[in-house]
Amino acid sequence: MQEVNVNEVPKGAQIIDVREPDEFAEVHAVGAVNIPMSEFTSRVGELDLDRDIYLICKSGGRSGQVREYLEQRGIDAINIAGGTSDWVAQGLPNSRS
């Protein structure tokens, strides 16, 4: 499984937050785009396949599942271990800061 911790995500990366809209509205990584896991199969075309795809959720579980879904379709993606919880805990730019 291709995975990085929150401190390894490059600035300006394409971050896809797979949590539900209410979770995303509460707090999210600055620059993240919300494509909920529940809508992912119908919205996969919104991904920029010419850029690295970083996936994030609350703690890394759902984003890991979406990464596997993409991998099965021949699309490389990187799971962000620790998710938004770790992102906020590390003081990285988020919608609350």
Q: Would you name the residues annotated as active-site residues?
A: 57
Beta strands in 1-97 (DSSP E): 3-5, 14-17, 33-34, 53-56, 78-81
Contact 33, 15 (CB under 8 A): yes
